[in-house]
């Protein structure tokens, strides 16, 4: 293709992006319009699509850890050991008996689904935006304007802490459920950080002292039916930038984690929550814990997939982060330089999701 052809192609894509964005309808709006093939802006390059559905090793390596007996300062050594091993070897694990009632899980999924499926398009379009001034935004694809191709999902994003979003801006259809979910994740986040701290041989309160779960952002992703799931993805391969991520997923499935050179399914377990390590915790652990690539396949099912992610981050964005001194030695020198969380997030949001981990930029 000549220069002129390339320029025309770029101009056509820019116009297509503009029209999609200005419609404020998201991917769900495309499906509701009756389309039977996906628009070109969602078609991913061959290198992204070539390895989408390889076989996975048996048995499923993502462990499910029972948190029975944890809480009120109790952290059984067997649970500390299991959490530490999963964080070190896989970067992902599921937890059951975590203290969040099953009815809360169900209500939260149902409420976020109800937001995305509101019959009046104007209800969602009202908050379709990319800036987070009010703490609430509905959009499709965080990296829409600087990715190679768009992914087949819509997102409701709500700031939970340290400053809760404007209550009036949180959609009424899910407001109460979001508030309840925030309380549950705040409690569970503290428990998980204690287990992960001890798993590194540190004091249980070490991560809490660094405000590591005091900034929380909720992302309610909606993956509608995709008529051509082999041409696109639900979410491109990426690592999470923060400390830990807590994920509530429904039973549709589609989440995959890279384990070695193979992609494996994170099979939905009824009543379980998925936990994964973020880049910041890998850095603080001096590479003891792993922040690993994960992705979501485009949804081939007529039943939409709903997932609710809470990213737990430090609230002190100007604090210096780097490997814990206790985990640095002559045998294992610091693998990363020190930096502020603010610097880290600025770099994260200036790249497309499907790219090299931002961690590499901060390596010593």
| 2 domain residue, yes or no | no
As a residue count, the chain comes to 364
Paired tokens of 345: 């997030």
pLDDT (tens digit, 9 = 90+) per residue, 94-120?
999 999 999 999 999 999 999 999 987
In a domain, 281, yes or no: yes
| β-bridge pairing 136-139 and 92-96 | unpaired
347 or 23, greater pLDDT: 23
232 phi/psi in degrees, rounded to 5: -150, -175
| Residue 262 CA to its chain's centroid (Å) | 20
Which residue, 217, 237, 314, 197, is CA-closest to 52?
Answer: 237
CA angle at residue 193 from 191 to 195, to 5 degrees?
A: 70
The answer to the question of residue 204 being in a domain is yes
DSSP state of 315: S
Angle, CA of 281, 350 and 18, to the nearest 5°: 135
Mean pLDDT is highest, among 39-53, 246-260, 345-359, for 246-260
- pLDDT at residue 258 in the model: 93
CB 254 within 8 A of CB 222: no
Share of the chain above pLDDT 70, in %: 94
Q: Cα–Cα distance between 71 and 68 in angstroms, integer?
A: 9
Range of the domain at 275: 13-362
CB 299 within 8 Å of CB 152: yes
Low-confidence winner among 91-100, 129-138, 190-199, 343-352 (lowest mean pLDDT)? 343-352
Q: How confident is the model at residue 274, as a pLDDT?
A: 98
Task: Report the C-alpha gap between 277 and 240 in whole angstroms.
Answer: 8
- E strand residue ranges, 142-272: 154-161, 215-223, 233-238, 244-249, 255-259, 262-265
- pLDDT at residue 352 in the model: 57
Phi-psi region of 141 (alpha: psi -120 to 50; beta: other; left: phi over 0): left
Give Rg (Cα) of the chain.
20
Percent of all residues in the chain with a pLDDT value above 90, rounded to a whole number: 77
Closest-CA residue to 224 (of 304, 118, 139, 124): 304
Q: What is the pLDDT of residues 57-96, one digit of tens each?
A: 455 789 999 999 897 778 889 999 999 999 999 999 999 9
329: Cα separation from own chain's centroid? 32
- pLDDT surpassing 60 at residue 158: yes
Question: What token pair was written down for 153?
Answer: 């999902």
Following DSSP, what letter does each residue of 112-135 receive, concatenated? HHHHHT-S-HHHHHTTB-S--TTS
Residue 166, C-beta contacts closer than 8 angstroms, at least 6 positions apart? 134, 135, 136
pLDDT digits (tens, 9 = 90+) for 262-295: 899 999 999 999 999 999 999 999 999 999 999 9
Both tokens assigned to 67: 């948190």
User: In this structure, is the dihedral angle defined by the CA atoms of residues 239, 241, 245 and 250, taken in order, positive or negative?
Assistant: negative
Mean pLDDT in residue range 6-28? 87
Residue with tokens 């429904």: 250
Strands 320-321 and 339-340: antiparallel
Residue 4 lies in a domain: no
The closest alpha carbon to 247, from 196, 298, 308, belongs to 308
pLDDT-based confidence at 215, cuts 50/70/90?
very high
Q: Which residue in this structure is represented by tokens 């499910």? A: 64
In total, how many domains does the chain have? 1
pLDDT at position 10: 74
Q: How many CB atoms lie within 10 A of CB 109?
A: 20
CATH code assigned at 22? 2.60.120.330
pLDDT at 34 over 80: yes
Average pLDDT over residues 251-268: 93
**Of 177, 179, 167, 173, whose CA–CA distance to 118 is shortest?**
173
pTM: 0.93
Average pLDDT over residues 342-348: 86
State the greatest distance between any 2 C-alpha atoms of the chain, in Å, as a whole number: 66
What is the C-alpha to C-alpha distance for residues 27 and 21, in angstroms, rounded to an integer? 10
pLDDT for 293 equals 94
Q: What is the mean pLDDT of the chain?
A: 92
CA distance 280 to 295: 19
Q: Please check whether residue 65 lies inside any domain of the structure.
A: yes
Distance from chain centroid for Cα 203: 27
């Amino acid at each position: 293709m000549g220069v002129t052809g390339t320029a025309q192609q770029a101009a056509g894509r820019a116009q297509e992006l503009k029209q999609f964005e200005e419609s404020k309808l998201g991917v769900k709006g495309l499906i509701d319009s009756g389309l039977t093939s996906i628009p070109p802006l969602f078609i991913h390059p061959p290198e992204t699509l070539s390895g989408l559905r390889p076989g996975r090793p048996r048995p499923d390596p993502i462990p499910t850890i029972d948190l029975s007996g944890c809480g009120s300062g109790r952290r059984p050594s067997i649970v500390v050991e299991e959490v530490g091993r999963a964080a070190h070897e896989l970067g992902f694990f599921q937890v059951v008996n975590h203290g969040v009632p099953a009815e809360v899980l169900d209500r939260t999924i149902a409420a976020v689904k109800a937001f995305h499926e509101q019959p009046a398009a104007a209800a969602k379009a009202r908050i379709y935006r990319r800036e987070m001034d009010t703490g609430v935004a509905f959009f499709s694809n965080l990296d829409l304007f600087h990715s190679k191709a768009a992914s087949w999902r819509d997102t409701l994003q709500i700031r939970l802490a340290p400053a809760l979003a404007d209550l009036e801006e949180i959609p009424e259809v899910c407001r109460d459920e979001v508030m309840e979910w925030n309380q549950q994740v705040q409690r569970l986040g503290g428990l998980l950080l204690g287990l992960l701290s001890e798993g590194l041989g540190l004091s249980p309160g070490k991560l809490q002292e660094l405000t590591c779960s005091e900034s929380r952002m909720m992302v309610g992703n909606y993956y509608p039916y995709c008529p051509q799931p082999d041409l696109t993805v639900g979410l491109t391969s990426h690592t999470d930038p923060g400390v830990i991520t807590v994920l509530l997923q429904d039973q549709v499935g589609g989440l995959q984690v890279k384990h070695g050179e193979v992609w494996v399914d994170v099979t939905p377990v009824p009543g379980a929550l998925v936990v994964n390590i973020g880049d910041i915790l890998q850095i603080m652990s001096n590479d003891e814990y792993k922040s690993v690539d994960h992705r979501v396949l485009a949804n081939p099912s007529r039943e939409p997939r709903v997932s609710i992610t809470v990213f737990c981050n430090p609230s002190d964005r100007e604090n210096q982060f780097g490997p814990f001194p206790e985990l640095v030695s002559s045998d294992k020198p610091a693998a990363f330089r020190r930096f502020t969380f603010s610097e880290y997030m600025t770099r994260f949001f200036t790249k497309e999701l499907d790219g090299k981990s931002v961690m590499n930029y901060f390596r010593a």
